[in-house]
Amino acid sequence: MSVLIEEGRPVGRAKNHRRANLLSPPGVMLLALGTAVLGCRGASQDAADFAAMRKTMVARQIAARGIRDALVLQAMSEVPRHLFVPVDAAGQAYEDHPLPIGEGQTISQPYIVALMTESLALKGGEKILEVGTGSGYQAAVLGRIAGSVFSIEIDGTLARRAEETLERLGFGNVHVRAGDGFFGWPDEAPFDGVIVTAAAPELPPALFAQLVEGGRLVIPLGDPATYQRLTVVMKRNGKPVIEQVLDVRFVPMTGEILKKKK
């Protein structure tokens, strides 16, 4: 014997009560609602899991290695790195190594992103030029600190993908264009800081020229086929003052700089 329920209270007995047909319009609505609820719960759990992984990354890989800049640590703890890598690599996004992002390029190891950002010595509100957008992750980290970021990517596919990701995530102060970063972005110069995320055998003159007096340029310099030195170039009285940080290995810068090498 079954009892019909309406709004949480019994209203009478039902003879020959049948189960609801899940293929009927009400049944389909119930299935859709259940799926949506489960989907929301799954998404919330995923977000919580990634947030925990991000917190661990900052503590164990970045702060533990000596990064002390509070603005950098905050930015690294906020930017969802897993959304800047291919979906099948999202589970590895917060691990201590670079990851391929397609088109023969990679997203740098988290510590290197933090180190290069800290090397710019940002205070907040600056205008930054980035050469080598890649996935857009480094630009997003910079965008959490700087007032505006202008990022150039030589690969058109990566540039479009990064621009879409940054726009979707609300990074309205990050501007991306496809082009050869060897020439910088003259229309937007000068810049308070310049960061280059590809290996160069020598400092591109246009990038130093577009740096403000007292500004800092961070770039991996050396043989693109082997290892490079992460280098900070400071502009003092119009002249470069060099500070070498550590050995690194980046993918090579392409385009005009290869012609100069010849």
In this predicted structure, what is the pLDDT of residue 259? 83
**Residue 221 pLDDT > 50, yes or no?**
yes
- Assigned fold of 45-261: Rossmann fold (3.40.50)
In this predicted structure, what is the pLDDT of residue 47? 86
Reported as a single tens digit per residue, the pLDDT across 154-183 is 999 999 999 999 999 999 999 999 999 999
**Residue 14 pLDDT > 90, yes or no?**
no
Confidence of residue 4 (pLDDT cuts 50, 70, 90): very low
In this predicted structure, what is the pLDDT of residue 253? 93
Q: What's the mean pLDDT in 4-23?
A: 38
In this predicted structure, what is the pLDDT of residue 45? 55
Q: Domain locations in the chain? A: 45-261
In this predicted structure, what is the pLDDT of residue 104? 87
Reported as a single tens digit per residue, the pLDDT across 84-134 is 999 999 999 999 999 999 988 999 999 999 999 999 999 999 999 999 999
* CA atoms within 13 A of residue 97's CA, in its CB half-sphere: 5
Residue 199 region, left (φ>0) first, then alpha (ψ -120 to 50), else beta? beta
Reported as a single tens digit per residue, the pLDDT across 52-89 is 999 999 999 999 999 999 999 999 999 999 999 999 99
Confidence of residue 11 (pLDDT cuts 50, 70, 90): very low
Annotated active-site positions, please?
108
In this predicted structure, what is the pLDDT of residue 3? 28
* Integer angstrom CA distances of residue 33 from 36, 37, 39, 71, 139: 5, 6, 10, 42, 38
